[in-house]
Amino acid sequence: MKVIKNNTVVNDAWQLVDDGAELPAGDVIVSLGRWQQERDALLARDGQVGVALTGDQDPAALADDLDQLPLIGLLFPKFTDGRNYSSARLLRERFGYKGELRALGNVLRDQLFYMQRCGIDAFALAEGRDADAALQSLRDFSKVYQDTGDSATPVWRLRGAV
Amino acid sequence: MYQYDNYDQTIVDERVAQFRDQTERFLAGQLADDEYRPLRLMNGLYLQRHAPMLRVAIPYGLLSSDQLRMLAHIARKYDKNYGHFSTRQNIQYNWPRLEQVPDILADLASVQMHAIQTSGNCIRNVTSDHLAGVAADEIEDPRPYCEILRQWSTFHPEFSYLPRKFKIAVTGATEDRAAVAVHDIGFYMTRNDTGEVGFRVLVGGGLGRTPYIGAIIREFLPKRDLLSYSEAILRVYNRFGRRDNKYKARIKILVNALGAAEFATRVEDEWQQMDRDALTLTDAALADIKRRFTTPDYQAFDGDAPAFAAKLGEDAAFKRWVSRNTHAHKLPGYRAVSVSLKTPERPPGDATDAQMDTLADLAERYSAAEIRVTHEQNLVFADVATQDLYALWQGLDALGLAVPNIGTLTDMICCPGLDFCALANAGSIPIAADITNAFNDYDYLYDIGELKIKMSGCMNACGHHHVGHIGILGVDKKGVEFYQLTLGGSAASDAVLGDRLGPALEKERVVPVIRSLLDVYLEHRQEDERFLDTYRRIGMTPFKDRVYGAEDEIRRSA
Ligand code: SF4
């Protein structure tokens, strides 16, 4: 899968696997349902396992599994569906998830800045999108107003009032 | 007036660059229509009936004279020499060219302005009381809290793709002059038992297709928790608000589906679990924001200027304007002045570039170089010394802006309607013109007294028709413009939705019917009851009978 990670474009071995499909060898991302049903078998495999959440799935469902998951995918069926921005923040800030949060689906360059600020750190751009061009959008703003648990310092702290 | 620091300026400048790039990519065909659409909407840019419409943010309705001059400049350079002030305390331009919008934004940024989040499914421009900071009935000036909310909501990464638009209003006064009860979140400043100032929190108000007066979900929220609690509300909405049907996507639908009590419980749960410390408004952070608001250089007067009293005695037209268009100020010797944008010459809420320029000059001379925009689509000079009122009145009169009709029936709210808006079912500006022309006798207007007519060209209700004492809604019946009237609505502290008068009326009948409604009112009025009070006392029947009963008779005799 081609992804933007650490400010570069890389091609890695993760594969998003449909629910009915046979598991290929290597690193796989499966649905929450499949993970809950086949957890032991998935963990016994050679490759790594990640779980992809849809916007209507509660990230709390993974709260006890976080140590076993090097990657959690967040699915954006349409770029205008903003539910997984909240899920990203909950995973990072409430549940303390330290692994990779990967945006999947209709992931477009003009939303990357927001995603990054919510704690998403890998972006699998939608088919046919120019990942190099998209890198620029991660730097759209040098200053931000909110404390959202990413590494950016909000301006009210920079102002030195606190 | 809030003054940007370098950080605020940087963010606005970077926004201009970002939007320029997005627009260039769109024009070059690299960004599809439906991908560009949310991006341009988040910058207040609509593609309308004739041309794009650009909505520029006027945070909580506050403008400096330099900013107003810039709005005039934009009207002149990029538009057809006028702008339209809206019920959201913003200004809209109806004729800019898409490829010029980035330049307009750059011009705006040069005077600390922008068009950020004036549309789109995100947190919109925060609105407030147009008498903030000068009203005598104020617990505390709400504007610093509006500014704090503005900054917090600007490009909030979690809440930029909400199910639907989201509007927040704040008032610090006991009388609601900002229609707070019809916002997605309304904050009313209040005191608790120990005298501490905080907020009473309302959610789920809104007009449009399914109008609701909001529900109070918290009686007292300490000031320090303003942002964390807002974030909890928004998170519950972002996660659980409906996204399958845009007409059911506002927070009001969620609040109503769950019930206000259950919604409040969910917010409370979220709030208890979240990292509130990071969002706590410290005394130092609040003081820092307050410090960056300039305060007018007030003089200490004992009371009204003697020259002012003398002019009141000499000039009846001046006196009439003073009694109608000026409001009490918290300081002796000062008044707040409403500049009516409901004149016979122009559609409600419109001002020309020349008017804006001169208004900026007048504000510098007479009102601390500030102007406010009201949700009723007028302007306010909030800090005028009584000794200057006569000169100001003359200046306004020369502009055609001393119309003494504030609060009367010709001081209507009116959306752009069919003349400009792509969504409209019917014209609203022509109806406003009919009403203005028909009711031009001031003695009659003053006898009728306070009467709020609010008019929308379609059920999206930008003209707040549901909460008009008389509401007028444009509907389309097989390609013909009809008007549905409602009675008894209010957006003030006694907020309530109006009741339907009866079947929609043909265009020609709107003015005669309003006249009949007023006849019924005058026949039944007790003492100094307002139209609204009489309606509440006697109910719909007498009004309905007069309008539709008469119609039946006409039909029978025909
Ligand atoms: S109420 Fe309807 S016609 Fe009027 S401005 Fe809003 S969308 Fe347009």
DSSP letter for each residue of B350-381 = EEEHHHHHHHHHHHHHHSTTEEEE-TTS-EEE
* Under 8 Å between Cβ of B540 and B498: no
Res B441: pLDDT:
94
Give yes or no: residues B12 and B67 share one domain: yes
- CATH code for the domain of B436: 3.30.413.10
Q: Give A51's strand partners.
A: A30, A72
Query: What average pLDDT values come out for chain B (558 residues) when binned by 10 residues?
Result: 96 98 95 94 86 94 98 97 94 94 98 97 97 96 98 98 98 96 97 97 95 97 97 98 96 97 98 92 93 96 96 97 97 98 94 98 98 96 98 97 96 92 93 95 95 96 96 96 97 95 96 97 96 97 91 56
Helices then strands, counting H and E runs in chain A, come out as 5, 8
- Domains of chain A, start order: 2-161 (3.20.20.70)
Token pair belonging to B44: 């207040």
B314 and B284 within one domain:
no
Helix ranges (H only) for B202-242 are 226-240
Q: Of all atoms in ligand 1, which is nearest to the CA of residue B418?
A: 3
The Cβ of residue B293 has, within 10 Å, a number of other Cβ atoms equal to 15
- In this structure, the answer to whether residues B271 and B310 fall within a common structural domain is no
CB-based burial of residue A17 (10 Å sphere; 0-12 exposed, 13-18 middle, 19+ buried)?
middle
Instruction: Give yes or no: residues B319 and B280 share one domain.
Output: no
Cα gap B409→B204, rounded to integer Å:
29
Q: Which among B87, B126, B118, B124 has a CA at the least distance from the CA of B101? A: B118
pLDDT for residue B250: 97
pLDDT attached to residue A162: 47
Percentage, residues of chain A above pLDDT 70 = 99
- Same domain, residue pair B444 and B502: yes
Is the domain of B361 the same as that of B476?
A: no
Q: Give Cα separations from B108 to B12, B58, B66, B368, B428 (angstroms).
A: 9, 11, 11, 21, 30
pTM of the model: 0.95
Binding-face residues of A in 29-68 toward B, CB within 8 A: none
Domain interval for residue B526: 413-557
Is B252 found in the same domain as B369? no
In angstroms, rounded to a whole number, what is the distance separating the alpha carbons of residues B541 and B556? 21
pLDDT at B551: 57
| A81 inside 8 A of chain B by CB | yes
Residue-level pLDDT at B550: 58
**Separation CA B132–CA B115 (nearest Å):** 23
Atom of ligand 1 nearest to the CA of B416: 5
Q: Could you give the CA distance from residue B272 to residue B264 in angstroms, rounded to a whole number?
A: 12
Same domain, B372 and B498: no
Surface of B (310-369) touching A: CB under 8 A: none
**Ligand 1 within 6 A of B475 CB?**
no
Q: Which residues of B touch A54 (CB under 8 A)?
A: none
**Residue A78 at interface with chain B, using a CB cutoff of 8 Å:** no
Q: Which helix (H) or strand (E) holds B13?
A: helix B6-27
CATH number where B43 lies: 3.90.480.20
Q: Are the C-beta atoms of B461 and B474 separated by less than 8 Å?
A: no
* The last residue of a domain, from among B40, B74, B109: B109
**pLDDT value of position B552:** 60
Question: Is residue A129 less than 8 Å (CB to CB) from chain B?
Answer: no
C-alpha to C-alpha distances, B227 to B125, B214, B230, B233, nearest whole angstrom: 16, 19, 5, 10
Q: Using CB atoms within 10 A of its CB, is residue B246 exposed (0-12), middle (13-18) or buried (19+)?
A: exposed
